[in-house]
């Protein structure tokens, strides 16, 4: 698949169909994958694809706003929805982006993998997708690890492994579910089922740890505001010290802002240095929005986002 | 150019709308209203069909806008005394009754009313409860100034009391006030005097006034209204019980050659609204509407009827009941009627049956305002056979009366609902603007 | 910037406030609040004495914010604002605190709590006042001309209504002649005049009016702009004419439903619609003897639930006409309800019965049957009230169908940015109180474009729309209270949330000096603030209700304000 | 002197509740309650907004975070909005925010949305009464420990 990708990028750059291409390449260590900006045909051979290509590259597409030409982009099905949203939210015109869809059968959560292997990621040389399992090379040894053990949370119920709107695709893939016993919203429902006090304790414990490094914001495709409301000084919404109540406010307000726009790419949770399970917060919103407003972000160009839309007969518990 | 001011008679929704439009067009408007507050009949309504908009919510901003408009002079508690002149140049005399309260000082706080010892039936709540001799007609009244009812006031009738005067810290009570006579010169007059409810007592077969649990549509409206005498609790007169079944009788006095031959136009929808509200308040409540033709001709009206039937447990019975009797023990009215629709009849041979309900609401005819004839005489206006202001040419000049420069809008020129009244109000404003834009020599052809 | 100096004025309202709230305590408390330069109380703040004390203190203390704690802004705000203006203070630097309706009157038995609450309300009011800014009310000029789309009775009347006020009018009619739907009508209810008698003088007045330009055979091709300043392209014979107008009236009417597939219409030659009937027998020659009229054809059914409003009148009119011509004629009207609302129609209905027109109520579940092979011979109907089937001889069947919305409405609605309702008719701003306006300012509607209306109703609506359209034109400017939304273009990222939520189409994404951003047209903005709450970045704000002001109120309520906070 | 009910009964805890009311219906409803002298607990403080849709969810989150015991948003009944559709947005935002707050362990009573029309003075009073009692029963939102410095707005 990498060959196919590289060939395509060479061709597109050669035609002048795009100014540069954003994909993945290997970083300092074999298991460390980083985004890669290919401007020249000669660099195309650095492009890779695999279960460690974690980043949602969509955010970088915003850079193309300043280009005359187009930007090409490798997207997994989940990330592709960010492109749809960015187009819907008027951040980029669709025809400025060359979308190269890649079929994805699940991504590895490095933290889980480290736990299963008992060794740090630096020692992992390669991870290869092999259907229900990953082939993980550590040193000279190749270990088979069941996907259910190391998959990123968001990948368990992948409804959209491929983009529905691409210019080129590297292959087809069907929606899949790993670990058939559980359901998409299990984690959310488990929390919902707890008594209020326990739920509160759970989240307080999480928010307490937040150091307000803003990594979740910086990585989020949807956080493209020129000036973030939290950075404003007139008025100032948040006090600087990362105290619990300020942190909680920060995360709740972020959640409100992303409601109906979050495409569940999982980047916020991935980059959080203190491991706050932000995915669960956003999954909750996603679940409610699907149930209440029958809406899923990133799926259609011509629907109106749920919080700037209404139906006359929306649920009304308020009376 | 003609005189660029206008007298509008009647401060209901039509008069208010016409005043606002004229004022916005730049005309000077004198809005003459008989009662102490503008608002009219619409202020008495709880909700409005077919959207179930809260009546006061949509009316109050208009009342405030109208009263606060720099081009509108509100002459409440006033009546038209005389009119002379012709289009473009009328002389109008307005008689302003003394409210015995200095409007400049009164803050409308209502403390005087708290202390006033005299209680009389409250017109706004159609006599269902009492108000004081010094009063604000209703809480949202505009202007928000107290009025002393001279016929009820103990001091003015019996020469002693003056409690209000002692109470009022603003010193607003002024028993020395006299009737004021205002002479106005205006270019046009616009009538929007609205309607009065027909008193159904003469229709003895329906027992109004005799059977306690037979009430009128307007009484019902106040009962179901959140700001009404019962706070929106539907309590039937005989025992305060919330009714489980209600029968609404249509065409009470309307479409009846003995009373009003015409169709009052709004009652079918009004009854449907009332039945919907009843069911909204009390989900087990069942309503029956006895009708002749279900005249739901406006925008979204048919959908409203369908919703009433499908979602609010309203049954429509095509029949004009012959009489209403009462079960003396329970106080329940019993409606006797013909089952006119063959397929719906329980007894296809006799086809006379009865229905016992907890409450009967008579959707009474609506008739031109009581003082209407007198007003017409003063102005030399023709009325039609039913007493509405006659319109010479309904096709091309639907708001022009028989006197040039005098226009009529709303219910006073024929039965119609709020949207139609509002349309006519604006239309009349346009006609005023048209004729007052013309040079006086052109006026007679306008 | 001068230091913020807030004056606080607390009203006793006689005993109304002072009898419950301990006003002196509130006054003392207000003195401790940041930026408060003076605090006064008065028995009646709204009395001339109270108002002049506001004016005097503004001068004496150099106040640049005023807070009055008394009753409700809904009635008294203009009064206090005016007092501020008289003292040379911008009226938007005034803030109202309600300690009567919301405090003393509802906590009459708890002076302690009421006093505490009053203090907090004052604290919140002062907190907001500190961030109030002077505002200029928006004004934009109005181009003194109007466009009326549609040259039927409604359109012509609207055009005359405006032109007679001295306003320049462009009247656009798609056909080559004026008149619209009633050109095909024989006589008009309620006067019984021939339609030409009404139509010809009306059209002549329009054509000869020096303020009216008639564009025949023309259609609106494109439209843009907003109240006071619309640019409209009108196309005729391939030529495009660009018009500038300040207001637009939609009077495009509707058309009669052709009931294909119902009652063997279009299959049998002697099954016709009402309009076809009037057209065919206009001269009155060879009128058939036995005529059956069927009402509610294609109306009040599942797929078209509405009632055509005046079709019953039309049926009665034609039935009466038949009977008056030939008293021996057999005329039956099969109906579901006779919609003879009001005085004249009911009278007309009674007259029809007196003349011998027979009204038969049918059941829509069991509709009349057309009998005959090459043409109608008879109609079989289940008489709902008699409970039996009857067969009526018929030489002609007339189907009464409702008016339906024109297909072109959708295109026009997009061009003018005004909505259509479920049945394809134009949707007014408010069904009850704004029947001829759209929520988009400057565009109005009348006649059957909105919903089926008979001639008197259409004419009334036409005049009403003329009244509305004339207001901005006569005034020459549109003004807006300075509570409109305003976008900070430097920080707007053009997500478009504001555009989606605005009920008035007042916000658009436009290229400007900071790239593409949201821009609010204050001429269209009504100051609801929907867009502000939908803006994630806080770039969109509402004057008088901005985030800073409201947040400072929340803060003031949440915490004791300490001295020294503020500028 | 009248009774000092604020010190009667219970532990003397008096919740502090922020109310947003739209200018056209709910604020008018509150005025009507006043004009009608309907008595109610003195724990609510109204901020007037032109439309309930002006209330950004951030206000609710901020108010609760700053230690206020509850937030009540009042708007026109659906269909009655002065701006025709504002309260439909309020309804959607309200639904979602309520669920979200509950999800992180904030009692649902602390954030409520109600529709109060201009003629529903009594409903306004009842709502204030109910909401106050519900929140009183819950007790303080959270100990107001931590930084007391938070005065949103500028400094």
- Tell me the per-residue pLDDT of B232-245, one tens digit each, with 9 for 90 and over: 899 999 999 999 99
Measure in Å the smallest separation between the Cα of A308 and chain C Cα atoms: 5
Once rounded to an integer, what is the mean pLDDT over residues C362-379?
95
- If contacts are CB pairs under 8 Å, which of residues 292-311 in chain A contact chain D? 292-293, 306-311
Specify the pLDDT at position B153: 97
> What domain range includes position C531?
482-543
Domain count, chain A: 1
Q: Give pLDDT, residue C177.
A: 96
pLDDT in tens, B136-171: 999 889 999 999 999 999 999 999 999 999 999 999
- Say whether pLDDT at C332 is over 80: yes
Q: Average of pLDDT values for C144-164?
A: 97
End-to-end CA gap in chain B:
14
Q: Which residues of C touch A304 (CB under 8 A)?
A: 500
Instruction: Please tell me the pTM assigned to this model.
Output: 0.84
In a domain, C1, yes or no: no
Same domain, C73 and C10: yes
- Cα C57 from Cα C83, distance rounded (Å): 11
Q: Are residues C264 and C399 in the same domain?
A: yes
Contacting residues of B for D50, CB less than 8 Å apart: none
Chain CA centroid to CA C59, Å: 44
Helices of type H across chain A: 2-15, 77-88, 110-117, 147-150, 186-193, 196-209, 215-219, 244-258, 267-271, 278-293
Are residues D35 and C562, on separate chains, in Cβ contact within 8 Å?
Answer: no
DSSP letters of chain D? ----GGGSSTT-----EEEEEETTTHHHHHHHHHHTT----TTEEEEEESSGGG--HHHHHHHHHTT-SEEEEEEPPTT--TTSSHHHHHHHHHHHHHHHHHHTT--GGGEEEEE--TT-HHHHHHHHHHHHHHHHHH--SS---S------B--
- Please state the φ and ψ torsions of residue C179, each to the nearest 5 degrees: 135, -35
Greater confidence (D155 vs C308) lies with: C308
Q: Are residues C321 and C347 in the same domain?
A: yes
Nearest to D51 among C112, C121, C530 (CB): C530
Is D touching A (3+ C-beta pairs, cut-off 8 A)? Answer: yes
CB distance from A313 to chain D under 8 Å? no
Task: Give the pair of three-digit tokens for residue C105.
Answer: 């009157």
Chains that touch B (3 or more CB pairs under 8 A): C, D
User: Measuring CA to CA, which residue among C136, C162, C248 is closest to residue C479?
Assistant: C136
Query: What is the domain extent for residue A251?
Result: 183-313
**Chains in contact with D via at least 3 Cβ–Cβ pairs below 8 Å:** A, B, C
pLDDT at position A220 is 96
Q: What's C46's domain CATH number?
A: 3.40.50
Q: What CATH number is attached to the domain comprising C524?
A: 3.30.70.20
Task: Give A-chain residues touching C496 at CB under 8 angstroms.
Answer: 88-90
Contact C418, C438 (CB under 8 A): yes
pLDDT given for residue C4 in this prediction: 95
Mutation target among D61, D64, D73, D81 for the A interface, most CBs of A within 10 A: D61
What is the pLDDT averaged over residues C370-384? 95
Give residues with Cβ within 8 angstroms of C168, minimum separation 6: C144, C145, C146, C211, C213
Q: Which of C57, C189, A217, C74 is nearest to B398 (CA)?
A: C189
Q: Which of C109, C111, C565 sits opposite D155 (nearest CB)?
A: C565
* C381 and C297 assigned to the same domain: yes
Residue keyed to tokens 């759209």: C438
Do the chains contact at C494 and A90, CB–CB below 8 Å?
A: yes
> Is residue A298 scored above 70 in pLDDT?
yes
Nearest to B61 by CA among C478, D82, C101: D82
Q: Is residue A55 part of a domain?
A: no
Mean pLDDT of A273-283: 94
Same domain? C15 vs C70: yes
Q: Under DSSP, is residue C234 helix (H, G, I), strand (E, B) or coil?
A: strand
C378 is a domain residue? yes
- The reply to whether residue A318 touches residue D105, judged by beta carbons under 8 angstroms, is no
Whether C563 is covered by a domain: the verdict is no
- The mean pLDDT value for C118-147 works out to 96
Q: Measured between CB atoms, which of B13, B26, B48 is closest to C474?
A: B26
Residues C80 and C29 in one domain: yes
Q: Which residues of C touch A305 (CB under 8 A)?
A: 497, 500
Q: Name the percent of chain B lying above pLDDT 70.
A: 98
Residues C246 and C265 in one domain: no
Q: Are D100 and A288 inside 8 Å of each other by CB?
A: yes
Q: Distance between CA atoms of C244 and C147, rounded to whole angstroms?
A: 9
Closest CA–CA distance from residue A96 to any residue of chain C (Å): 16
**Candidates B46, B57, B139; nearest CB to D76:** B57
Q: What is the mean pLDDT of residues A177-203?
A: 88
| CA C472/CA C229 separation, integer angstroms | 11
Contact C460, B421 (CB under 8 A): no
In this model, does residue C406 exceed pLDDT 80?
A: yes
C-alpha dist (Å) from residue A18 to A41, A43, A69, A121, A169: 11, 15, 6, 35, 16
| Helix H or strand E segment including C390 | strand C388-393
User: Does C557 reside within a domain?
Assistant: no
Residue C18's contacts (CB-CB under 8 Å, 6 or more residues apart) are C12, C43
D56/C114 CB distance under 8 A: no
Cβ-contact B321, B335 below 8 angstroms: yes
- CB < 8 Å to D134, chain A: none
Q: Does B263 touch chain C (CB under 8 A)?
A: yes
Q: Which residue of A has its CA nearest to C550?
A: A235
- Three-class SS state of C397: strand
Q: Which of C454, C464, C466, C474 is most worth mutating to test chain B (most B CB atoms within 10 A of its CB)? A: C464
Chosen from D118, D120, D121, D129 to mutate, greatest number of chain B CBs within 10 A: D118
**What sign does the CA torsion over B426, B431, B432, B436 have?**
positive
Half-sphere exposure of A201 (CA within 13 A, CB side): 5
- B437 to each of B187, B377, B446, C94, how far by Cα in Å? 10, 28, 10, 40
Closest CB from C72, C127, C528 relative to D54: C528
Confidence at residue B397, expressed as pLDDT on a 0 to 100 scale: 96
The answer to whether B293 contacts chain C (CB < 8 Å) is: yes
D52 contacts on C by Cβ (under 8 Å): none
- Can you give the pLDDT at residue B1? 62
Q: Mean of the pLDDT values across residues C454-474? A: 97
Please give the pLDDT value at position D8. 40
Residue A275 included in any domain: yes
SS3 content of chain B, % helix, strand, coil (to 5): 30, 25, 45
pLDDT score at D11: 58
pLDDT of residue B439: 61
Task: Return the pLDDT at C129.
Answer: 97
Say if the Cβ atoms of B395 and C191 lie within 8 Å.
yes
Q: How far apart are CA A296 and CA A291, in angstroms?
A: 10
Please indicate, yes or no, if residue A12 is contained in any of the structural domains.
no
Tell me whether residue A52 is in a domain: no
- Contact with chain B for residue C451, Cβ under 8 A: yes
Give residue ranges of A with CB < 8 Å to any C CB: 88-91, 224-229, 232, 234-235, 237, 257, 304-305, 307-309
Topology adopted by domain D17-138: Rossmann fold (3.40.50)
D31 near A CB under 8 A:
no
B–C: how many Cβ contacts below 8 A?
210
- The verdict on C387 and C418 lying in the same domain is no
Preferred mutation among B43, B144, B227 to probe D, highest tally of D CBs within 10 A: B227
Neighbours of C49 (CB within 10 A): 11
Domain shared by C444 and C526, yes or no: no
The verdict on a CB contact (< 8 Å) between B415 and C343 is yes
Dist CA A113 CA A124 (whole Å): 9
Do A307 and C490 lie within an 8 Å CB cutoff? no
CATH code of residue C289: 3.50.50.60
Chain D closest-CA separation from residue B231 CA (Å) = 7
State whether C176 and C231 are in the same domain.
Answer: yes
| Domain limit, last residue, from C84, C108, C135 | C135
- Name chain C's partners: 3 or more CB pairs within 8 A: A, B, D
- Across the beta sheet with A124-130, the strand order is A124-130, A133-138, A141-146
Instruction: Judge whether A164 lies within some domain.
Output: no
Q: What are the chain D neighbours of C552 within 8 Å (beta carbons)?
A: 152-153
What pLDDT, on the 0 to 100 scale, is given for residue A177? 76
Please indicate whether, in this complex, the C-beta atoms of D122 and B227 are within 8 angstroms of each other.
Answer: yes
Question: Is residue A95 in a domain?
Answer: no
Can you list the residues of chain B whose pLDDT is less than 50?
440-441, 443-446
Would you give the distance in Å from CA C312 to the centre of its chain?
Answer: 27
Q: What residues of chain B lie within 8 A of the CB of C437, using their CB?
A: none
Q: What share of chain C is helix, strand, coil (3-state, %, to 5)?
A: 30, 25, 40
- What integer best gives the mean pLDDT of chain A? 91
**Confidence grade of residue A156 (pLDDT, cut at 50, 70, 90):** confident
- Every domain of chain D and the residues it spans: 17-138
**Mean pLDDT (whole number) for C320-336:** 95
Total tally of structural domains belonging to chain C:
4
Q: Do D91 and A310 touch (CB under 8 A)?
A: yes
Q: Is some CB atom of chain B closer than 8 A to the CB atom of C13?
A: yes
Cβ-contact C493, C515 below 8 angstroms: no
CB contact under 8 A, C557 and D125: no
Regarding whether C269 and C163 lie in a shared domain, the answer is no
Q: Identify whether A176 is part of a domain.
A: no
- Compute the average pLDDT of residues D119-141: 94
Subunit contact A227:C539, Cβ cutoff 8 A? yes
Cβ distance B54 to D122 less than 8 Å, yes or no, reads no
Which of C106, C135, C164 is the endpoint of a domain?
C135
Residues of chain D found within 8 Å of residue C504, distances taken between Cβ atoms: 83
Residue C566 lies in a domain: no
């Amino acid at each position: 698949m990498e060959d196919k990708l590289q060939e395509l990028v060479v061709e597109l750059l050669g035609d002048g169909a795009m100014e540069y291409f954003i994909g993945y390449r290997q970083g300092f260590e074999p298991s460390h994958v980083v985004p890669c900006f290919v401007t020249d045909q000669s660099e195309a051979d650095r492009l890779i694809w695999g279960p460690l290509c974690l980043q949602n590259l969509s955010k970088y597409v915003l850079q193309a706003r300043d280009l005359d030409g187009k930007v090409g982009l490798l997207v997994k099905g989940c990330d592709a929805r960010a492109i749809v949203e960015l187009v819907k939210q008027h951040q980029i015109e669709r025809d400025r982006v060359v979308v190269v869809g890649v079929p994805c059968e699940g991504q590895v959560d490095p933290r889980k993998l480290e736990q299963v292997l008992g060794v740090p990621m630096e020692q992992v040389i390669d991870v290869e997708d092999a259907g229900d399992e990953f082939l993980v090379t550590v040193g000279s040894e190749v270990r088979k690890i069941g996907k259910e053990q190391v998959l990123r949370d968001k990948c368990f119920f992948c409804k959209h492994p491929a983009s529905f709107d691409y210019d080129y695709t590297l292959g087809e893939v069907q929606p899949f579910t790993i670990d058939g016993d559980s359901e998409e919203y299990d984690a959310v429902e488990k929390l919902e089922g707890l008594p209020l006090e326990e739920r509160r304790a759970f989240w307080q414990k999480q928010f307490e740890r937040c150091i307000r490094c803003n990594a979740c914001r910086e990585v989020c495709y949807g956080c493209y505001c020129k000036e973030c409301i939290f950075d404003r000084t007139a008025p100032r919404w948040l006090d600087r010290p990362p105290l619990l109540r300020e942190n909680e406010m920060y995360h709740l307000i972020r959640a409100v802002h992303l409601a109906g726009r979050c495409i569940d790419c999982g980047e916020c949770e991935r980059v959080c240095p203190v491991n706050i399970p932000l995915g669960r917060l956003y999954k909750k919103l996603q679940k409610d929005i699907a149930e209440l407003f029958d809406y899923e972000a990133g799926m259609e160009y011509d629907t109106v986002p749920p919080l700037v839309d209404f139906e006359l007969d929306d649920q009304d518990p308020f009376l | 150019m003609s005189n660029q001011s206008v007298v509008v008679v009647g401060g209901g929704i039509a008069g208010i709308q016409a005043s606002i439009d004229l004022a916005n067009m730049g005309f000077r408007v004198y809005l003459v209203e008989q009662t102490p507050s503008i608002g009219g009949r619409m202020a008495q309504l709880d909700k409005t069909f077919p959207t179930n908009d809260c009546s006061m919510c949509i009316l109050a901003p208009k009342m405030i806008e109208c009263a606060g408009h720099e081009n509108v002079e509100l002459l409440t508690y006033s009546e038209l005394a005389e009119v002379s002149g012709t289009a473009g140049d009328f002389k109008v005399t307005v008689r302003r009754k003394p409210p015995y309260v200095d409007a400049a000082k009164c803050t409308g706080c209502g403390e005087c009313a708290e202390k006033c010892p005299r209680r009389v039936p409250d017109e706004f709540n159609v006599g269902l409860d009492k108000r004081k001799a010094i009063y604000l007609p209703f809480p949202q009244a505009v202007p928000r100034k107290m009025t002393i009812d001279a016929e009820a006031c103990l001091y003015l009738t019996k020469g002693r009391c003056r409690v209000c005067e002692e109470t009022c810290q603003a010193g607003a009570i002024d028993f020395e006030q006299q009737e004021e006579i205002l002479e106005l010169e205006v270019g046009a007059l616009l009538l929007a005097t609205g309607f009065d409810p027909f008193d159904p007592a003469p229709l003895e077969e329906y027992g109004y006034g005799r059977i306690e649990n037979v009430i009128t549509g307007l009484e019902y409206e106040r009962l179901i209204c959140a700001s009404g005498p019962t706070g929106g609790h539907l309590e039937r007169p005989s025992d305060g019980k919330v009714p489980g079944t209600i029968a609404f009788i249509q065409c009470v006095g309307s479409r009846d050659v003995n009373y009003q031959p015409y169709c009052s136009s709004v009652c079918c929808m009004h009854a449907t609204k009332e039945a919907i509200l009843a069911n909204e308040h009390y989900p087990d409540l069942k309503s029956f509407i006895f009708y002749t033709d279900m005249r739901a001709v406006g925008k979204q009206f048919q959908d409203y009827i369908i919703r009433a039937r499908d979602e609010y447990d309203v049954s429509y019975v095509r029949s004009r009941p012959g009489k209403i009797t009462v079960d003396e023990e329970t106080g329940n009215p019993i409606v006797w009627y013909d089952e006119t629709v063959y397929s719906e009849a329980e007894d296809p041979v006799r086809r006379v049956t009865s229905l016992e309900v907890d409450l009967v609401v008579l959707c009474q005819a609506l008739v031109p305002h009581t003082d209407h004839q007198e007003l017409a005489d003063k102005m030399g206006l023709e009325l039609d056979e039913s007493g509405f202001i006659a319109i010479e040419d309904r096709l091309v000049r639907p708001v022009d009366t028989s006197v040039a420069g005098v226009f009529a809008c709303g219910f006073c020129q024929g039965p119609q609902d709020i949207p139609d009244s509002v349309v006519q109000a604006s239309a009349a404003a346009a006609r005023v603007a048209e004729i007052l834009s013309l040079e006086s020599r052109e006026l007679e052809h306008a | 910037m001068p230091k913020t100096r807030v004056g606080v004025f607390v009203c006793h309202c006689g005993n109304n406030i002072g009898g419950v709230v301990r006003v002196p305590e509130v006054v003392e408390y207000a003195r401790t609040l940041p930026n408060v330069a003076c605090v006064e109380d008065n028995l009646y703040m709204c009395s001339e004495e109270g108002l002049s004390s506001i004016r005097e203190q503004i001068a004496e203390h150099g106040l640049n914010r005023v807070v009055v704690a008394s009753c409700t802004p809904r009635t008294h705000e203009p009064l206090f604002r005016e007092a501020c203006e008289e003292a040379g203070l911008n009226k938007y630097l005034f803030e109202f605190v309600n300690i009567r309706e919301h405090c003393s009157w509802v906590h009459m038995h708890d002076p302690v709590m009421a006093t505490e609450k009053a203090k907090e309300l004052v604290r919140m009011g002062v907190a907001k006042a500190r961030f109030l800014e002077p505002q200029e009310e928006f004004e934009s000029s109005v181009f003194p001309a109007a466009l009326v789309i549609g040259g039927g009775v409604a359109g012509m009347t609207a055009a005359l209504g405006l032109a007679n006020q001295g306003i320049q009018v462009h009247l656009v009619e798609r056909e080559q002649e004026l008149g619209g739907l009633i050109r095909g009508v024989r006589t008009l209810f309620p006067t019984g005049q021939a339609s030409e008698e009404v139509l010809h003088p009306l059209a002549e007045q329009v054509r000869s009016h020096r303020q009216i330009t008639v564009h025949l055979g023309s259609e609106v091709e494109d439209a843009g702009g907003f109240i006071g300043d619309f640019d409209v392209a009108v196309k005729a014979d391939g030529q495009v004419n660009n018009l500038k107008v300040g207001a637009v009236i939609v009077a495009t009417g509707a058309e009669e439903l052709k009931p294909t597939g119902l009652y063997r219409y279009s299959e049998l030659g002697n099954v016709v619609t009402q309009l076809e009937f009037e057209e065919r027998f206009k001269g009155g020659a060879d009128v058939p003897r036995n005529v059956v009229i069927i009402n509610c054809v294609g109306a009040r059914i599942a797929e078209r639930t509405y009632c055509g409003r005046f079709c019953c009148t039309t049926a009665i009119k034609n039935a009466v006409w038949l009977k008056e011509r030939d008293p021996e004629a057999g005329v039956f009207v099969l109906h579901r309800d006779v919609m003879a609302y009001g005085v004249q129609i009911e009278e007309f209905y009674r007259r029809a019965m007196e003349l011998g027109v027979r009204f038969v109520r049918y059941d829509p579940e069991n509709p009349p049957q057309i009998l005959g092979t090459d043409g109608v011979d008879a109609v079989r109907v289940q008489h709902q009230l008699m409970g039996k089937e009857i067969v009526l001889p018929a030489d002609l069947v007339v189907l009464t169908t409702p008016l339906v919305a024109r297909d072109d409405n959708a295109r026009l609605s997009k061009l003018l940015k005004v909505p259509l309702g479920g049945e394809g008719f134009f949707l007014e701003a408010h069904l009850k109180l704004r029947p001829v306006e759209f929520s988009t300012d400057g565009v109005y509607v009348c006649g059957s474009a909105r919903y089926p209306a008979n001639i008197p109703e259409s004419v009334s609506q036409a005049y009403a729309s003329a009244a509305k359209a004339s207001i901005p034109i006569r005034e020459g400017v549109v003004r807006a209270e300075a509570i409109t939304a305003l976008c900070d273009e430097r920080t707007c990222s053009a997500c478009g949330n504001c555009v989606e939520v605005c009920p008035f189409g007042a916000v658009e994404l436009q290229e400007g000096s900071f790239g593409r951003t949201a821009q609010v047209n204050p001429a269209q903005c009504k100051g609801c603030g929907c867009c502000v709450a939908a803006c994630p970045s806080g770039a969109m704000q509402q004057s008088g209700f901005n985030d800073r002001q409201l947040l400072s109120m929340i803060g003031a309520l949440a915490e004791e304000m300490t001295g020294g906070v503020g500028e | 002197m009248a009774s000092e009910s604020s010190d009667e009964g219970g532990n003397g805890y008096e919740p502090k509740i922020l109310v947003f009311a739209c200018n056209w219906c709910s604020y008018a409803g509150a005025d009507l309650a006043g004009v009608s002298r309907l008595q109610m607990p003195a724990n609510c403080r109204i901020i007037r907004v032109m439309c309930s849709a002006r209330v950004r969810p951030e206000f609710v989150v901020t108010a609760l975070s700053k230690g206020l015991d509850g937030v009540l948003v009042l708007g026109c009944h659906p269909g009655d909005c002065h701006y025709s559709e504002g309260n439909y947005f309020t309804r959607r935002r309200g639904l979602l925010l309520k669920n979200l707050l509950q999800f992180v362990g904030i009692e649902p009573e602390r954030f409520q949305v109600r529709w109060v029309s201009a003629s529903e003075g009594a409903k306004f009073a009842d709502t204030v009464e109910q909401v106050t009692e519900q929140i009183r029963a819950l007790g303080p939102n959270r100990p107001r420990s931590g930084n007391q410095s938070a005065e949103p707005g500028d400094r």
